[in-house]
Amino acid sequence: MSAAGGCTSSVSKGCFVFKPSSKKRKSSLTTADYFNADLKDLEDGQVRFDTCQSLWQEVKLETEQLQEELNKKLFDSLIEFLRKSHSEFQGEKNEWSCRTRSSEIPTAALVLGVNVTDHDGTFKSLSEVLWERVTPYVASLQAKECPGIKQLLQKLLAQLMGQLADVDLNSDEEEEHVQTSQRRRGRPMASLCSWYRSVTKRTSQSKKRTSSSSWHLLTPPVVVILKDLERFAPKVLQDFIVISSLYTGELPLIFVFGIATSPMIIHRLLSHSVSSLLCIELFQSVSCTQHLAAIVDKLLLTTRFPLRLSGKVLLVLTNIFLYHDFSVQNFIKGLQLSVVEHFHSQPLSMLCCHLPEAKKRLRSLLHEQCENIRQLPSFMSYVDTQTSEHQVKLLTSDSFLKDVAQTLLEDLHAYHKNYIPVLKCLHEFTCLLPKYPLGRQSQVRELHCACMEKKVWESEEYTSAFQLLRMLAKDELVATLRKCVEILKSSACKELSKALKKLEEFLSRFHNLEGSVSAEEHEYLKDENMSPPKVLQKKTDLYHLQKTLLELKESRRSKKLTNFEVLRLEVVEFLDSLVRDYLVPPETKALYEVMYFSDASTLRRHLNAAPRTALHMALNNPYCYLKNEALKNNDGVISNLAPDICIAYKLHLECGRLINLYDWLEAFTTVVTTAEGADSASVASGRVDEVIHARFIKAVSELELLGFIKATKLKTDHVARLTWGGC
């Protein structure tokens, strides 16, 4: 016996025991291992991964807090409704109890919107809030888990009673429970009522009260949440409501309906006799567009997080949101992907942190990392603007490079602090203009994208917006100036202190203009109102009329502007100077690649896939996905080692609109059975193997499922091709 080799050699049969090897098993790969897989420097990659993780944890915490703030008003109103509706069951009389009958079930219709992917998080938070503040008896039901009344009652009892309820309800009873006797159809709910009475009785007799929860009612309500009301079968829903209405005196049931479309769906799913058993109150959640605006304002338009998104990246994320799913959660996932891609693809992303930490890391950079700085396009453009002496130092001296890079990073952080307040001020001026040339009131992201992409003052929209600003009324102008003063005060930027003083000076000058109109202004208004009728009331021909109108136009141009018009022009010109100074695109700043993620194509490829292109790539070139070296071949060659569906797909590309199935089968058989060096005479046997025939049928069925072919009535032994061309 050779124990060392782990093998045995014996004449007789026996059982041999081998001790486990002392070598440690290979541990599974972590997230950091996948992150550092393609990186050259593992130490540098670990720093980038830790920075990425800490940044995303801050962003995630901020998004969760924002979600709680947005849902707080909705949840508070829901809890108030639950408490009022439950007061009748406890014997309390109030205005709400007068509105309901004894057989009605209080129902909260919660309209959440079409962003269905976000509903799970909302209901999870709602269940936690209800458990903490109202009742411990909360059940959440989904339509896919409740195809029938039997499954619905089983799921309900399992969640409430904490175990899988073995409900004695046969399939026959499921169909006839509404017509059968009350005892038979009420068996599951009767067991729930008895369980509820025993639990509440034990709770009332016990003197212990937990301080962590705020529900100390002797008979807390039982809340049943139907997450996706539209997906429930109408018959199942109606039967459940009818059964539940029979026990309103014994069981304090309260329904919460999750609605994605419209409250009218309740009356479409339920008959009048069933809907009359519900006392419905409507609740509206915050719209997904308002939620997105809050996310952009709290995450992207703030200086708390060093990482920035370019205009193209933000446009990709918003387009997916607006044209696909309206899901804020998917928007946040796209933001997370942007963070990971930036720290994985940018070697200098280790400097994408808060300024004090970035300065420390900058001082400890190695020569190779300094070379990465020199290779940045923005830094190369900066070097071209310097003198020849400075250019030599920047390209040769690492210490001098670090000093300059520290100054550039400070300028970049200062640019961020000044950019956001000025952007908000410009948005306050332009959001109320006719036709919204630079974005609506609640969509500051449109103006943000425009300023990030190019010099916004060179666009036609900016020119038209400032033409309209020169015609603003006094009340609107003063109100907007006050908002801008508040924005600059809250920003607390030292560089914008002069701008703040200038705006306050404009406000004081407008205040001095109130109630005082000069004699020149009276004369101007008098000429504006009286002179045209006096001139034009004389009879004249077309030539003299045109000449008179031109003279009036020139005279109006040459007239002296009023004090208000002069002051209004000063405000508009000052705003234009602020825009030109502080809203320059980030590409004009050196080292912007360190803090900006601009790879929109990668983001679009991951989040907004093209299914048809991906299918063609997989079927036409399976090596792209399978990574099998045997599948590497020249274009136009069909390998017999490829999957059957790939062979059938390539063969169908060579056919016309109608494909003969027998010819297709023969070609498939030829490719599959032909190997390199095989005799062609031995291949052509004249009879198709049953296994190959079955493989062909499976491949054709898969192509039909993918939508490449379909059956046709023109010829029984043919199929119609649904695509054309090579892609």
Q: Provide the residue ranges of all domains of the chain, joining segments of one domain with +.
A: 63-201+215-286, 291-517+562-597, 519-558, 611-721
Nearest partner of 222 among 141, 317, 331, judged by Cα: 141
Residue 424 CB contacts under 8 Å (≥ 6 apart), including other chains:
301, 444, 487
Whether the Cβ atoms of residue 624 and residue 636 lie closer than 8 Å to each other: no
Confidence bin at 205 (pLDDT 50/70/90): low
Q: What is the mean pLDDT of residues 26-42?
A: 74
What does the block give as tokens for 487?
């924005």
What confidence category does residue 200 fall into, taking pLDDT thresholds of 50, 70 and 90?
A: confident
What is the largest distance, in Å, between two alpha-carbon atoms of the chain? 135
**Residues 539-590 pLDDT 10s:** 666 767 777 777 766 666 656 778 888 899 999 999 999 999 999 999 999 9
Q: How are strands ordered across the β-sheet holding 253-259?
A: 138-141, 222-226, 253-259, 105-111, 278-284
Gap between the Cα atoms of 580 and 455, Å rounded: 8
Strands (DSSP E) found in 231-310: 253-259, 278-284, 308-309
Cβ contact 536:482 at 8 Å: no
Q: What does the pLDDT read at residue 178? A: 40
Which of 428, 410, 507 minimizes the C-alpha distance to 469? 428
CA distances 133 to 14, 74, 138, 221, 697, Å, are: 67, 14, 12, 12, 60
For residue 33, list its beta bridge partners: none
Coil, helix or strand at residue 565: helix
For 80-104, what is each residue's pLDDT tens digit? 998 888 776 555 554 444 444 567 8
DSSP 3-state percent helix, strand, coil across the chain (nearest 5): 60, 5, 30
Nearest to 415 by CA among 250, 535, 289, 591: 591
pLDDT tens for 678-703 read: 444 444 555 678 889 999 999 999 99
The reported pLDDT for the residue numbered 31 is 80
- For residues 429-439, give the mean pLDDT: 84
Does the pLDDT at position 638 exceed 80? Answer: no
pLDDT of residue 678: 46
Tokens of 704: 């039909």
Who has greater pLDDT, 644 or 545? 644
Residues 6+ apart with CB under 8 A from 52: 35, 339, 340, 343, 344, 349
The SS3 assignment for 2 reads strand
Please, where are the H alpha helices in 162-233? 171-176, 182-185, 187-205
pLDDT at residue number 550: 76
Q: Please give the pLDDT value at position 523.
A: 53
Identify which of 436, 434, 439 has the alpha carbon closest to the alpha carbon of residue 451. Answer: 439
pLDDT at 176: 44
Residues 6+ apart with CB under 8 A from 577: none
Q: CB neighbours of 675 closer than 8 A, spacing ≥ 6?
A: 640
**Could you report the per-residue pLDDT of 664-678, keeping only the tens digit for each?**
999 999 888 875 444
How far out from the chain centre does Cα 422 lie?
27
Among 69, 61, 75, 57, CA closest to 128: 75
More confident residue, 630 or 353: 353
CA 489 to chain centre: 32
The structure tokens listed for 34 are 């996948």
Give the CATH fold of the 63-201+215-286 domain: Rossmann fold (3.40.50)
